[in-house]
Structures are given as structure tokens and as C-alpha cells.
Amino acid sequence: MAVSHSWRWLAGALFTLAGMLAANSMLGPLVADVIDYRMSTTLVNQLIALDVVSLAVIAPLAVLAGVLVLRGHRAGPVLAIAPAAFTAYMIAQTIVGSDYLGVPGNNERWFPWHLGLFVLGVVTLVGAWRGVDGRELPAASRRRDRWTAVALFGLAVFVAVVQWVPALADMMRDRPTRADYLSNPAMTWTLALLDLGIATPAAVAAGIGLLRGTDWGRRVAYSVVGFFALVGPAVAAMAITMQVNDDPNAAVANVAVMSAAGLALALLGVAVYRPLLRRRAAAQPRSRAGVPGTFVPSHQRPGTLIGHRQRP
């Protein structure tokens, strides 16, 4: 099966993303400590956990998505969204959340590198999203969609109400007391913006779309579930690393809660993605304009605004 140029580009972006993520993890506090982040001890411990997750999960997942894209499997672009979104989410925190004037370090010198990684994550995310065709996603029963929507609404409530309402109540006081906020206010506000401004609304929108039985709702649901299936275990790894390294802000209760939440999100991701990854789910090559065996992204298929003849 021939694969269109757009798909080869997406696969190349995913392989590059995996390589840069692995290199970034090796250059950070986990291994070489060449990148000395201007962050508190607590945040450095969290970065170590993030580097482990990036090496063990995120980079391999990006490679797997790239291979599936090249093979014309419909799971390729869907699977690509999660590591791309995760990368943009985490790198944004690294850039904006560092205490450049209050903590020694040198990560500002690595801004071009981190900017490139952020841009690559965003571009890969957009390319993967445009390549997903809701009509090709595996059929799901209305009951399954309803339960997935309920899980997404529950996730939104957990993030917005359980995690952030108590934190914001303290952060907006005249004299905040939370240790994580006092150690680095910029990082905390960056997280609040990303979680409450993007992740939570996306989860709600996905749930609504699923209940209405729309194609876009299923696309957003896959994206949101995949993203949180990576973020949940990463946050649990941060809590565990803080406990192992005797971080002053570590707490056994936090480890238990984050580990349970991370496991639940990972299991939700497996449940949602499993039908997509079955062998019989492999996408068949589409014929277009009389050219058989050409795999064409959804935004270049008949009936869209963008399209041109694909060469076999």
C-alpha cells in the first residue's frame, strides 16, 4: 500500500518527537544534569519522574504511532495525538513555570531547544488530529458511549473541583499557605491555566459530543482519554519519586490518591483504545480519483476543501 506524503511527514514528525523527548530526558536531572532547571527541589523531583515516564512510555508510544501511520493503520493518527499533546503540555510548564530570577540554573539557555520541542508537539498534534476520520473509528454501542461520557464528566469534576478548587481558594487569599504554591507560584498558575482552560473543557466537550452521537465527539474523546491516560501515571510517578527522595512536600496519602487516579486513567485509556488497536481494525487503503491503494488523510478525502490527486 502506498502512503501519501502527508502521512510520511506525520510519521517523521513522530519519530523526531520521540528522539527529542529521549534526548531531553537524558540531558535533564535524571541522567546528565546538563540542563539545570531553575526550579525548587520538589519540582526537580517531579522532573526526574517525568523524564522516566518520557523515556519509558511517551517516546516509545510516539514511535509506535509513527510505525502505525506508515503501515496505514487507522490507529496511527489517533494514537499520535496523546504523546504530542502530552509533550506540549509538559514543555509549556517547563518554559513558563521556571523561576528564572530566584533559583540558580541554566535552562533559559535551552529555550530554543524546548521551544522546538513545544512547536513540534503542537504541529504533530494538529497533523494527527486532521488525519483522524471519525467515520473510520470502531463502532461503539450507545451504552458504551454513555459510560465513556460519564467517565469524562467525572474526570472533569475531579480535576476542576477536587484538585483545583481547594488550591485556588488558597492561592487567591492575601496570604497563601500551600507549600507547592509558595515554592513556585508561576508553575502553579501555569498548571491551573492548562488544566482548567484546556484539559477540563475538552473533557466536558468530549462527553457532550459522545452523548449526542457525533463523529467529532468520538475524535475528541479519543484525544482526551489518551492524553489523561499518560498524564495520570506521570503525576503518580511524580508523587512516588517525591516520596522516595524524601521530598519535604511528599505525603503518603498523596501517593495513594495519585497512584489510584493514575491507574484508573490508564485502565480507561486501555478500555477506550482497545477496539481501535485490534487486528481487524487496520484501515483499508482508500481509492481516490481512480488511484487504488493510496492512503489519504481525512482532510484530503473527497468532500473536503483540501484535496489533490495522490500518486500511487
Per-residue pLDDT of the chain (312 residues; tens, 9 = 90+): 445 666 889 999 999 999 999 999 999 999 999 999 999 999 999 999 999 999 999 999 999 999 999 998 889 999 999 999 999 999 999 999 999 999 999 999 999 999 999 999 999 999 999 988 777 788 778 898 999 999 999 999 999 999 999 999 999 999 999 988 988 899 999 999 999 999 999 999 999 999 998 888 999 999 999 999 999 999 999 999 999 999 988 899 999 999 999 999 999 999 999 888 875 434 444 433 333 334 445 444 444 433 343 444
Cell matching residue 296? 489519504
Category of 90 on φ-ψ map: left (φ > 0), alpha (ψ -120 to 50) or beta: alpha
φ, ψ (nearest 5 deg) of residue 3: -120, 135
Comparing C-alpha atoms, which of 134, 126, 157 is closest to residue 213? Answer: 134
Q: Which helix (H) or strand (E) holds 305?
A: none
Distance CA 29, CA 44 (A): 7
Neighbouring CB atoms inside 10 A of 216's CB total 13
For residues 117 and 124, the answer to whether their CB atoms sit within 8 Å is no
Cell matching residue 12? 517523521
In single-letter form, the type of residue at position 22 comes to A
Residue 248: strand, helix, or coil = coil
What residue segments make up the domains of the chain, in order of their start?
A: 2-300
Q: Within the chain, where are the H helices?
A: 5-27, 41-53, 59-70, 75-96, 111-131, 142-157, 165-171, 179-183, 185-194, 200-211, 215-244, 252-277
Cell matching residue 213? 452521537
Neighbouring CB atoms inside 10 A of 281's CB total 15
Cell matching residue 254? 498523596
Give the per-residue pLDDT at 140: 77
By CB neighbour count within 10 A (0-12 exposed, 13-18 middle, 19+ buried), where does 146 fall? middle
Distance CA 139, CA 117 (A): 35
φ, ψ (nearest 5 deg) of residue 141: -70, 160
Give the per-residue pLDDT at 141: 83
For residues 242 and 170, the answer to whether their CB atoms sit within 8 Å is no
Q: Within 30-74, where are the H helices?
A: 41-53, 59-70
Contacts (Cβ under 8 Å, ≥6 apart) of 167: 178, 181, 188, 192
Comparing C-alpha atoms, which of 231, 253, 230 is closest to residue 240? Answer: 253
Cell matching residue 65? 504511532
For residues 297 and 7, the answer to whether their CB atoms sit within 8 Å is yes
